[in-house]
Amino acid sequence: MIMDYYSGCENCDHGFKATVAEVKKGQQGHTKACKCLKNKVWEYFASKVYGLPERYIATDFSKTDKVRLNRVKKAINFTESLYLHGNVGSGKTHLCVAALKYYHIVQDRKQALWTMCGMGRCPECKGVGCLFCEGSGWLDRGNPSRPRKHAIYVSCYDLIAECKESFNYSDVDSSKIFRRVMECNFLILDEFVTGLNSKHFSDEFFRLIDYRYNHDLQTFYVSNSSFNELRNIDSRISSRIAEMCKVLKLSGGDKRLKNENK
């Protein structure tokens, strides 16, 4: 028996389609989904789960440097952490978002589609909407031992700004803001080194990095500063990153300025 679930789609003649084959004795169940549904799942994860800025959600990675892309894919496959550094506009964030999308494909998308195709469907929407229904809790199914947020992208500027705002409220502890990103399976920490010249934020970042170091959690540190420059700023942090990360330098000029001159 084959069951199909549909939801309207302007770009696809059959709408979002997910198909699940009934599991028969001695056979394996399987799911299939159209490209539109896969894109919809990515958009949901990127904005609601990973915290990705709107600009990067629809990024086209077809022209991404293949050597660089294969390097970050390898890191994802082998759960390696990376320290990526290079000049402003050298493509560091773009490459990390490509890595995050690859992580999404190999880690989260399959589970999401399987959940949507009848495995633990949301009682409120009875079908494909279970992923997009508020409060469905589908992400906690399948492997309850994993953190709710499998992966997070965050800019150090945003972390610091949120902490500074919390200083105005006595019931908000800045350490809890860092705790939110401390325990996820995969963390992309963009604009890294920002805040390390401040004693307070330097200590908070040390706690964050020390936790991920001790628990062997995959992290991509993205910075305009070379590793030698980081070593001169904070030896405690650089020592841990040196052991947990492979260093990847991205050379080249500012791609944003090149696009502006076209």
Check residue 69 and give left, alpha or beta (phi > 0: left; psi -120 to 50: alpha): alpha
The whole-chain average pLDDT of the chain stands at 75
Residue 97: which H helix or E strand, with range? helix 92-103
Sign of CA dihedral 135, 139, 145, 146: negative
| pLDDT (0 to 100) of residue 262 | 53
Binned at pLDDT 50, 70 and 90, residue 33 comes out as: low
- Strands 218-223 and 245-250 come out as unpaired
User: Do the Cβ atoms of 106 and 74 come closer than 8 Å?
Assistant: no
> Which pTM was predicted?
0.77
Q: Which of 9-18, 52-61, 69-78, 241-250 has the lowest mean pLDDT?
A: 9-18
Question: Is the confidence at residue 86, as pLDDT, over 60?
Answer: yes
CATH fold for domain 52-260? Rossmann fold (3.40.50)
- Best CA proximity match to 189, nearest among 216, 151, 161: 151
Secondary structure tally for the chain: helices H, strands E = 11, 8
**Predicted local distance difference test score (pLDDT) of residue 40:** 77
